[in-house]
Amino acid sequence: MSNTENYIGTPWGIILCVDYYRDEKINGRIYHRYQTEPIRIGGMLEAVFEIDAFFNRLGYPFPGTESHYFIKHEKTQRIKMTRKLSDEEMLKNNGEQGTFIIRVEQRLLKMIDGALDGRDIKEDAEEEN
C-alpha cells in the first residue's frame, strides 16, 4: 500500500461512503476526523448540506462569495474542533458501492443559486443569448 492510500491529506478532508446507488439516488455515510460516528445521508443534496454545515462549523474553507443559505438557520460560530479519528481510522470505512476521499479547497456557493430558485441553467444561458 502506498503512502497516499494512508492519509486524507488535509484537516478538512472527508470520506464519502456510498452504500446504495440506484436510479440516481444514493444512501451513504460521511466521515471526518472530528467525530467518531458517521453522518448518514439519504441523497446527494443532503450530503451537500451536511458537508457545507461541517465546513461552516470548522470555519474553513471559507465560502468564496457572500454566504447563501438553503434553509433558514441561525448564524454559526467557528468551533474549535478536536481530532477524534486518525487518517488510518477514517480510511477503514468503505462504502458498499464506492468510497471517495474529498479534499475541498474552495467553496463557491453562488454557482448553484440558479438551481435552487427553480431556474434551469439552460434557461439562463438562453436568456443571455
**Residue in 33, 16, 105, 30 with CA at minimum distance from that of residue 62:** 105
Structural domain tally of the chain? 1
Instruction: Decide which of 69 and 34 is more confident.
Output: 34
- pLDDT tens digit sequence for 25-66: 899 999 999 999 999 999 999 999 999 888 888 887 776 655
Say whether 86 sits in a helix, a strand or coil: coil
Structural domain containing residue 60: 3-128
Please tell me the predicted confidence (pLDDT) of residue 70. Answer: 61
Inform me whether the pLDDT recorded for 104 exceeds 60.
yes
Do the beta carbons of residue 101 and residue 18 sit within 8 Å?
no
Inform me whether the pLDDT recorded for 76 exceeds 80.
no
- pTM here is 0.68
Do the beta carbons of residue 26 and residue 11 sit within 8 Å?
no
What is 27-42 written as a DSSP string?
EEEEE-TT-SS-EEES
